[in-house]
Structure 1
Amino acid sequence: MNMPSPTNPAPLRGRQALRGDLLDFSATPAWAALDDPAVRYRPDHWLLIDADGRIAGVQAHEPDASWQRRDYRGRLILPGFIDTHVHCPQLDVIASYGTELLDWLNTYTFPAETRYADPAVARLGAERFLDALLAHGTTSAVVFPTVHKVSAEMLFEAAAVRGMRLITGKVLMDRHAPDALRDDVAGAERDCVDLIQRYHQRERLAYAVTVRFAPTSTPEQLAMAGALCRADASLYMQTHVAENRDEVAWVARLFPQARSYLDVYARESLLHPRAVLAHGIWLDEQDRRVLAASGAQVAHCPSSNLFLGSGLFDWVAAREAGYTVSAASDVGGGTSLSMQRTLADGYKMQALGGRRLTAWAALHAATLGAAQGLGLQQEIGAFEAGTLADVCVWDWACGPVAQARDAVVRGLHERVFAWLTLSDERNLVASYVAGVPRFRRDPESEPT
């Protein structure tokens, strides 16, 4: 890609107007409705972006000459995707063969994460990872670094340079891991406090108390993590829960006093409205009620769940219980940073359970729904006036197969569903972060 240097980003040149087929959501779509009032589709409209990078409005008529016009006519314009669970260092182990979760961690993931103790590795890894997100149409993310403080620092710094909304925090892991990946309670607390003071709520950054998962933290470390959350309600919390049956059984042996895997976190005040729990496959009805009452959300990772053979997530049961489900790639268990590929796998997973995921429910979980789950709907997720212009432009169809399919679609949902199923990062034309283009596929042919 030919872009301005991330360390010297191109300044905004006044007000901008992007012309194209605008699609976003004003509310949560119903589960199975193909024609839903929550869907806002405005074909051949102009998205107006003020000089401060915020959306000024949407209009059908051409703006006056005071706006720098970019004509993406005939292309789809969406809010930037929000990936609510993804691992920066695991780009190195994506597409690793042959194991389930616990073996996969020991065989592939932990060795890769060990390298991030090196500041140079952590810096290059963070830059590569964030640029890859932008090249896949993801402009905001909730990210796991490694146990090393420097890995979180490098992610925060690289995201700040790119102007991205990023939520991350040093991983907590003081047992059942290689020596090079274990911390201790006192040292981890010092690192968290320092990182919170330096990065939390600076620009578009936020800190997440990051428990790897219950088995790799002692009860003392979990208690420390809960104390951090209780001390500052603006902090996020991220972890894994109930991904794999062997993992669930292991947690039951390690925490016999807890009613369930989820209860391990509930007992330590780690379930709250800013908590993001990845997977949540093997939950029961009481767990679901607890999740809903806490305000926490589940980051659904269909690509990873299928690839590792973890299980089939019941999205309908989650909806009926009343807690937020957002979409997540979970790379490197997941096999692509592409949110379209992730959501297409989500459709297949629900179909295996006898349920049908609409394009609307899927896309909402990666845009406005994710923003609402994170408490960030005033900033990202939709084309509302005053939100930051995190915007991506897409080709409706690339290649003869997708073009032939697009030529015969009947109705909007059929067109968007075909796009969701057949597209990926090759369809991405441009990614804007707060109005600044951070990825352009063909910079020389960009409209002016």
Structure 2
Amino acid sequence: MPLTRKAYRAAILHSIADPAEVGIETSYEYFEDGLLVVDDGKISAVGHASELLPTLPADIEINHYQDALITPGFIDTHIHLPQTGMVGSYGEQLLDWLNTYTFPCESQFGDKAHADEVADIFIKELLRNGTTTALVFGSVHPQSVNSFFEAAEKLDLRMIAGKVMMDRNAPDYLVDTAESSYVDSKALIERWHGKGRLHYAVTPRFAPTSTPEQLTLAGQLLTEYPDLYMQTHISENLKEIEWVKELFPERKGYLDVYDHYQLLGERSVFAHGVHLCDDECARLAETGSAISFCPTSNLFLGSGLFNLPMAEKHKLNVGLGTDVGGGTSFSLLQTLNEAYKVMQLQGARLSPFKSLYLATLGGARALRLEDRIGNLRPGSDADFLVLDYNATPLLSYRLKQSKNIAETLFVLMTLGDDRTVAQTYAAGALVHQR
């Protein structure tokens, strides 16, 4: 089969390190007139167009974008597929919100036709917003994960998902058992984990909805399949934290519950972490676990403000999560808009280059996939976006005043949304065209 080689010319920007560790200036590469070369779904070269063009064959197809920026695809480290239909639900904080809106909405996912329909809408929304990889919660029904992976496989997307494990403190119509959750998860792992660009995540919803028996079996799955992911929630809401103390009085805190059941590790991602203490951050970092920072959701549900500087102090891996449906947008640009405000409210700064890092390479590091996604280095999967500087009249006018790439990037993150994403590529294939 002949090599399919294509090139893409525009301004190009990607993160190569965490600004908190190396300083802003050495954390990114920017090519004002750049060229990205893709061979068979992988990036083979990135750099200045003037240097790379002479090295290419004369007949190569070059897509040239004016007034546009190429970046890596965005990575969403926390989102719920079954909550797509209840995004933007009024008036509750976490625990009431789960009972009022979430559980009834999730109850429909045993039905294949419904699960297929929502998986299709969900993936289209991700790609429309420039998200090329997501760590996804299904519902308690295996069908939710089968439908999602079937849709993702057709487009050769790099996606991670798991069936929710939940055997108590939820409506009767939505609980599994410790044993059935283990058996169902195992069947899904055998079917999907490592197939194409798909990965499985063991998914206990959160400590209050799992018995000790179920958490034990979740830990057992991670032992049986060492390269699995684990995803759950932690320290999102103050009432939730009190509830965990009542349910697990023998443990010294919320994180210690998960630690006891051996759920911490290099592919474990804990959503929120709004109310973590220093010791918990240190323990997460020590075990190689990561946090998904979900600012839109934390503000919408009144949960609190994530302390990013504390996470940085402990060198804790942090990715960005939309947390749809607690979050109100699939757009990681809009999520970064909210992240900036969360930092402002704490008297801290969030630079545009740290924001870019969180949405791309930081998410890849949280998922231990930085050798494959999250940047545009040669050898990486060709998952990338074309962002349009003229997506809206206001954006177009504002960017004409921009003096440098830092300002341009910040404006894209404050005024940008799904309309800003002109094209989304996954493994070198065009999967969304605005």
Q: TM-score range by the shorter chain?
A: over 0.9
Give the match for residue 224 of structure 1. 217
Give the match for residue 404 of structure 2. 411
> In the aligned structure 2, how far is the partner of 1:432 from the partner of 1:12?
20
1:16 aligns with 2:20: no
Choose the corresponding residue for 1:258, options 236, 247, 251. 251
Per-residue deviation at 1:401? Answer: 2.4
| CA displacement, residues 25-84 of structure 1 (integer Å, 9 cap, x when unaligned) | 111113896x5111111111110001x211010242334334211111320101000000
> In the aligned structure 1, how far is the partner of 2:3 from the partner of 2:283?
49
* Closer/same/farther in 2, CA of residues 32 and 426 from structure 1, 3 Å limit: farther
> In the aligned structure 2, how far is the partner of 1:132 from the partner of 1:373?
23
> In the aligned structure 2, how far is the partner of 1:65 from the partner of 1:389?
22
CA contact (8 A) 2:74 2:131 kept: yes
Per-residue deviation at 1:403? Answer: 2.2
Per-residue deviation at 1:89? Answer: 1.1
CA contact (8 A) 1:14 1:68 kept: no
Per-residue deviation at 1:415? Answer: 1.7
* Closer/same/farther in 2, CA of residues 386 and 31 from structure 1, 3 Å limit: closer
* Closer/same/farther in 2, CA of residues 13 and 427 from structure 1, 3 Å limit: farther
Give the match for residue 227 of structure 2. 234
Give the match for residue 55 of structure 1. 43
> In the aligned structure 2, how far is the partner of 1:397 from the partner of 1:305?
31
> In the aligned structure 1, how far is the partner of 2:14 from the partner of 2:197?
22
> In the aligned structure 2, how far is the partner of 1:370 from the partner of 1:253?
33
> In the aligned structure 1, how far is the partner of 2:365 from the partner of 2:158?
14
Identity of matched residues, %: 44
Aligned-residue RMSD, C-alpha? 1.5
CA contact (8 A) 1:32 1:356 kept: no
Give the 3-state SS of the residue equivalent to 2:20 in structure 1. coil
Letter in 2 for 1:166: M
Most deviating of 362-371 and 297-306? 362-371
Choose the corresponding residue for 1:30, options 11, 20, 37. 20
Give the match for residue 102 of structure 1. 95
Give the match for residue 371 of structure 1. 364
Most deviating of 348-357 and 72-81? 72-81
Letter in 1 for 2:218: A
> In the aligned structure 2, how far is the partner of 1:389 from the partner of 1:334?
28
> In the aligned structure 2, how far is the partner of 1:179 from the partner of 1:226?
24
CA contact (8 A) 2:392 2:419 kept: no
| CA displacement, residues 339-390 of structure 1 (integer Å, 9 cap, x when unaligned) | 0000110000000000010111111011111111211111111111111100
Most deviating of 399-408 and 290-299? 399-408
Letter in 2 for 1:46: L
> In the aligned structure 2, how far is the partner of 1:409 from the partner of 1:148?
49
Q: Which runs of 5+ in 1 are unaligned?
A: 1-10, 442-448
Give the 3-state SS of the residue equivalent to 1:394 in structure 2. strand
* Closer/same/farther in 2, CA of residues 56 and 13 from structure 1, 3 Å limit: closer
Letter in 1 for 2:210: S
- 1:133-282 aligned at under 5 Å gives the runs 133-282=126-275
> In the aligned structure 1, how far is the partner of 2:266 from the partner of 2:185?
20
Give the 3-state SS of the residue equivalent to 2:330 in structure 1. coil
Paired residues, number: 429
| CA displacement, residues 102-138 of structure 1 (integer Å, 9 cap, x when unaligned) | 0000000100000111011111111110111001100
> In the aligned structure 2, how far is the partner of 1:32 from the partner of 1:24?
15
Letter in 1 for 2:339: G
Choose the corresponding residue for 2:28, options 11, 16, 39. 39
Per-residue deviation at 1:399? Answer: 2.8
CA contact (8 A) 2:320 2:359 kept: yes
Query: TM-score, structure 2 length as denominator?
Result: 0.96
> In the aligned structure 2, how far is the partner of 1:230 from the partner of 1:48?
40
1:323 aligns with 2:323: no
Per-residue deviation at 1:12? Answer: 10
> In the aligned structure 2, how far is the partner of 1:193 from the partner of 1:302?
33
Q: Which runs of 5+ in 2 are unaligned?
A: none
Query: TM-score, structure 1 length as denominator?
Result: 0.93
> In the aligned structure 1, how far is the partner of 2:127 from the partner of 2:75?
11
Per-residue deviation at 1:395? Answer: 0.8
Per-residue deviation at 1:162? Answer: 1.1
> In the aligned structure 2, how far is the partner of 1:354 from the partner of 1:65?
53
Give the match for residue 391 of structure 2. 398
> In the aligned structure 2, how far is the partner of 1:438 from the partner of 1:374?
22
> In the aligned structure 2, how far is the partner of 1:439 from the partner of 1:13?
23
Choose the corresponding residue for 1:116, options 109, 121, 127. 109
CA contact (8 A) 1:44 1:74 kept: no
